[in-house]
Chains A and B, each alone.
Chain A
Amino acid sequence: MGELVNIFIKSAFIENLALSYFLGMCSYLAVSKTVKTAFGLGLAVIFVLGITMPINWIINSYLLSENGIFGVDLTFLRFILFIAVIASMVQLVEMVVEKYSPALYNSLGIFLPLITVNCAILGGSLFMVSKEYNFSESVAFGLGGGFGWFLAIVAIAAIREKIKYSNVPPALRGLGMAFLLTGLMGMAFMGLMGIDPAAF
């Protein structure tokens, strides 16, 4: 159990998907203008990462690996299957949420399709493969990664809401400033990176 908590903390803070690997930057920059929308997208990312990670783990170890049911090394199909799983899971989640929780759907609705092309989701699955996690570890990694991404996007949205009232040079306004801020936040998170992973 302690091991899982460590993976959760490590993936949320030390190896933050958004601020250490800069994954999912497109939606991170596009949807971080207000805290409210950033909050919705962040929740949706936790949700989808938490679901697709274990499914992709099962596919990778039981269908694609040499010891799987086909007994052949099919890892070259990894990209296609992973992205198909992500796209269909996102579609499925959208339909289920729409049916059973219209309130949640109204707050998440428009963000769900965006998540398919969020690199953090596919990147998370590929990292999970290269780090050779087992099933429960991959669940912890998915939830932790999602939580870290959620924190990052809410934080930058809050800063961007405040910075609207500052006197920024016109050419740097908006996008340029968002890049600078993310760089500074990334530097802050590098301080956490210095923590020795072996200590966990």
Chain B
Amino acid sequence: MADTAISEKKKTIAFGKKERKLLTDPINDDNPITVQVLGICSALAVTTGMKNAAVMAVAVIFVCTFSNVITSLFRKSIPKQVRMIVQLVIIATLVTVVELTLKAYAFESYKQLSVFIGLIITNCIIMGRLEAFAMANRPYESALDGLGNGIGYGLILLIVAFFREFFGKGEIFGAKIIGATSEYAINTTESTLFGWYQGNNLMVLFPSAMFVIAVLIWAHRAWNTKLVDVS
């Protein structure tokens, strides 16, 4: 009896095929941004630079994982009628934790992200996972699901931010890669790679995020043809 109980317990926290699927599905076949189309708002606004995108990605991974775990723990005691408000309060609490942490340890990023930290609360991907997964599954699986979705989301965020920062400012993580190093060095091409390159300001502005994501969706669906929209 005791042995079976132990082996069962081991089984529940094992990392098998099913668990791996929970983690990797949201990265490709069920990607939050390019397939589920959830959580677009913040994806567009924070991707002007890779640093901000990375901070946002970490924040969303944190909130998504822990809100999934907490909701999953309480899933049997949350009344159906008020579950939206309960879920939102759980998310809002976690987001407040993120906000205060950023304010204390990364004030620069906190200033630049401004209202978009608060908007993690209404990031549909978190709410969507709570509704679709955490309300019906155990905490361990929910944690994996939250982690997977957070990573799938963060990955797209970083890809979009890479294109926008690289072509917009010629920088990666704030370090100059292509283009002249300063206003005065435009003519000294030997010091930098592609010294003639002028940053494309359109890439820094909002509409370019739309175009980059559209091209990403196009590429993703052309490669993974089962995702093509038939309607």
Cα A118 to Cα B223 in complex, Å, equals 31
Tell me whether A113 is interfacial, beta carbon within 8 Å. yes
In the complex, the answer to whether B121 meets A83 with C-beta atoms within 8 Å is yes
Measured CB to CB, the closest approach of chain A to B37, in angstroms, equals 6
Residues of B within 8 A of A1 (CB): none
In the complex, the answer to whether B96 meets A79 with C-beta atoms within 8 Å is yes
Residues of B within 8 A of A22 (CB): 40-41, 44-45, 206, 209-210
Measured CB to CB, the closest approach of chain A to B179, in angstroms, equals 23
Closest to B215 in A: A176
In the complex, the answer to whether B40 meets A79 with C-beta atoms within 8 Å is no
Measured CB to CB, the closest approach of chain B to A94, in angstroms, equals 12
Residues of A within 8 A of B50 (CB): none
In the complex, the answer to whether A119 meets B206 with C-beta atoms within 8 Å is no
In the complex, the answer to whether A119 meets B38 with C-beta atoms within 8 Å is no
Cα A66 to Cα B202 in complex, Å, equals 42
Tell me whether B127 is interfacial, beta carbon within 8 Å. yes
Tell me whether A190 is interfacial, beta carbon within 8 Å. yes
One digit per residue, 1 when the CB lies within 8 angstroms of any chain B CB and 0 when it does not, for chain A 63-94 equals 00000000000001111100110011000000
Q: Most chain-B Cβ atoms within 10 A of its Cβ — which of A126, A127, A184?
A: A126
In the complex, the answer to whether B119 meets A183 with C-beta atoms within 8 Å is no
Cα A184 to Cα B210 in complex, Å, equals 9
- Known contacts: A22-B40, A76-B100, A186-B206. The answer to whether A173 contacts B93 by CB under 8 A is no
Cα A87 to Cα B95 in complex, Å, equals 17
Residues of B within 8 A of A109 (CB): none
Tell me whether A192 is interfacial, beta carbon within 8 Å. no
Q: Most chain-B Cβ atoms within 10 A of its Cβ — which of A29, A30, A83?
A: A83
14 pairs, CB–CB < 8 Å, chain A vs chain B? A25-B40, A83-B91, A83-B92, A87-B84, A116-B88, A117-B124, A122-B122, A173-B228, A174-B231, A175-B37, A175-B217, A179-B214, A183-B207, A183-B211
